Amino acid sequence: MNDPGLSQKQLKEILDKVSLFKGLKKLNKKEKEAFDYYHIHRNKFNFKHVLFLYGICNGGNTFHDNFGNTWKELPTLLNEYHMPADEYKDARKPSIFQKSDMPPYSRKFVRDDDGDLKGEFELIIHRSGFRIDGDIEERVEYRETYNFGRTRDIERHYILDMRPHENTKYADLEQDMGFVHILEEKDLCTPEWTTKYFLENTGHRW
């Protein structure tokens, strides 16, 4: 199917018709075809060009990117679809009971899209640092996706993203999303790092 060429506002009107109990039944044939197309190609709306994420001091799971946008890292419990089942099961255990001492297969970061779609941007970052975008064949099924329903709104996320996924192929992704440097809060929020950053970025000398 070719791109229906809808604006984000037009697509949002279709998404708002989808309900928990009636699903896509309120959509006419043309709207249903458009929904199916954009469900598969929803990554065209995802956020690109993130070069790094740095943890916010005392911010818990909050990170800023190189544009100053704020992202939330979700717990492993909410990252089941973006890692192999055996690794997900192991990552859910307390660290002393985990079989592997490697970092989790992937980490999940989300940010609200305040544009017309009112959805959610998603970063799924493999432990190698590369976003899981489908560019590497063995990672295809764990790729990141733009979410029409925000993760914290489980009903909308289920009916707009999860349930349709059961009947369609994996979301398409047209480009390599690149490598992301993650700077952890515990490494950044120290007197030593703060002093080093101040000296390197202000040109000040004691």
Asked whether residue 2 is domain-assigned, the answer is no
Tens place of pLDDT for every residue, the chain, 206 residues? 789 999 999 999 999 999 999 989 999 999 999 999 999 899 889 998 899 999 988 878 999 999 999 999 999 989 998 999 999 998 888 777 777 778 899 999 999 999 999 999 999 999 999 999 876 777 878 889 999 999 999 999 999 999 887 766 656 665 688 899 999 887 777 766 555 554 555 454 43
Task: Report yes or no on 23 lying in a domain.
Answer: yes
Identify whether 26 is part of a domain. Answer: yes
Take residue 60 and report the two structure tokens written for it: 């818990």
Residue 3 lies in a domain: no
**What whole-number distance in Å separates Cα of residue 154 and Cα of residue 160?**
10
Where in the sequence is the domain holding 20, given as residue range(s)?
Answer: 8-202
Number of domains in the chain: 1
CA angle 172, 177, 180 (to 5 degrees): 140
Q: What are the DSSP E strand ranges found in the chain?
A: 52-55, 62-65, 70-74, 106-112, 120-126, 181-183
Indicate whether 1 belongs to any domain: no
- Distance, in Å, from the CA atom of 147 to the CA atom of 156, rounded to the nearest integer, reads 10
Is residue 161 a part of any domain in this protein?
Answer: yes
Please tell me the pTM assigned to this model.
Answer: 0.86
The 3-class secondary structure across 61-103, one letter per residue, is CEEEECCCCEEEEECHHHCHHHCCHHHHHHHCCCHHHCCCCCC
In whole angstroms, what is the distance from residue 143 CA to residue 153 CA?
21
- 113 falls within a domain: yes
Beta-carbon contacts of residue 25 (< 8 Å; ≥ 6 apart): none
| Residue 49, in any domain of the structure | yes
Residue 128 and residue 181: Cα distance in Å, rounded?
10
